[in-house]
Chain A
Amino acid sequence: MQGDELRFYRVGNVVDAKTPALIGTGFGLQVGLLLSGAILTETIFSWPGVGNWLIHGVQSRDYPVVQGGILLVASIVISVNLIVDLLYGVVNPRIRHA
């Protein structure tokens, strides 16, 4: 980029232009991956989290635990995606006023 072009780009402009994409891919899609990763991490380090609890539930055929854990994680994923969809409107006026 030459000097003349450079003055049109400020940090704020770039952040404004990229925030919707950052929110969308950063939180909305990754939260599911994050939670599946947590299952593996909790198993490796035997951390007492939802993932570890769920795996023990499956291994000991404790179906209420499995149902509850899956419902919990699914609710988290859905609510995060709902919040992300609402945030799209907050950061992007074109969606808000459509």
Chain B
Amino acid sequence: MIEAETISDVALGAAPERVQGPWREFWHAYAQSRGALLGLALTVTLVLLAIFAGVVAPHPPYEQYREFTLTPPVWQAGGSGDFILGTDPVGRDILSRLIYGTRLSLLIGLISVAISLSLGVVLGMIAGYVRGWVETTIMRLMDVMLSLPSLLLAIAVVAILGPGLINAMYAIAIVLLPHYVRLARAAVIAEAGREYVQSSRIAGAGALRLMFNTILPNCLAPLIVQATLGFSSAILDAAALGFLGLGAQPPTPEWGSMLADALEFIQRASWVVTFPGLAILVTVLAFNLMGDGLRDALDPKLKR
């Protein structure tokens, strides 16, 4: 009894200095980079804006104030305090539409990355674990998809499925797929010969358990990084599709379609085009900074 107490006391006394949880260690590595912290802060802001769009936005996104068409932003001559970033050609408040657009863009990013990550991991795991003709079939198929530029492949898929926001999400998910498949396959091939996998196999683990319980947690790091970076390319591609009229359709406050709507006013009312463009830029930048920070923090090769 007494001995047990002293041991636990010693353990407690020594603990705070040395023991670091994996999360703490990760945070320490992540916080090394200012850019990564900036990216995280921007991302959190954007997520909060998207969640609380209904509370934050000063106007409804579809409300047309017909007396205030093409009002300049508040700091320009003729600007009104009611419409901080000005209004578009039919008098809708640009700031409110941008805030609601955040919701759409993040949703597109989330859904398309979720689809392609889950599908890509499964396909890559199978390819890397089974090898043989299964691997050849899957990987050659992915090579075909990689031979098309990302936007063109998305356009091809939308051409088959028909224009629309949901189909654009599927298209982007398909475009992002080969990256995850290749990453997962490479990680599985690297890990499959390791001792812990062999010992697990000798202990009687089945193929599914080996793939998803034993190997997968050990190759998550590159997948997490790729998912974060995939988020930004998904948002960019969604905006490009919306701009071309193949993604979100006009009344929807999607950044790309807002750009396309206002294109003819670029000389007369530059704010209509500038702010959606800036919104895309900031969002993509935030996710890229965060992805780079995650890569630096999670990659054991780059660890100091």
Contact = CB atoms under 8 A, between A and B. Distances in A.
Contact of A63 (B151, B159, B243): B159
Contacts of B243: 40, 43
Interface of A is mostly: helix
B134 to A, nearest CB: 24
A43 B264 CA distance: 12
A77 B147 contact: yes
Interface in A52-84: 54-55, 57-59, 63, 66, 70, 73-74, 77-78, 81
A32 interface: yes
A1 interface: no
Contacts of A81: 147
Range class of the B interface residue count: 10 to 19
Interface in B112-158: 147-152, 155-156, 158
Contacts of A73: 148-149, 152
Contacts, number: 57
A36 interface: yes
Interface of B is mostly: helix
B246 interface: yes
A77 B148 contact: yes
A58 B147 contact: no
B152 A58 contact: no
Contacts of B150: 32, 36
B280 interface: no
Interface string B245-273: 11000000000000000010000000000
Contacts of B244: 39-40, 43, 55
A14 interface: no
Contacts of A23: none
Given A44-B263, A58-B163, A59-B163, 10 more contacts: A32-B148, A39-B155, A40-B240, A55-B155, A55-B244, A55-B245, A57-B159, A58-B159, A58-B246, A74-B148
B47 to A, nearest CB: 27
23 contacts: A32-B148, A32-B150, A32-B152, A35-B149, A36-B149, A39-B155, A44-B263, A54-B152, A55-B244, A55-B246, A57-B159, A58-B158, A58-B163, A58-B246, A66-B159, A70-B152, A70-B155, A70-B156, A73-B152, A74-B148, A77-B147, A77-B149, A81-B147
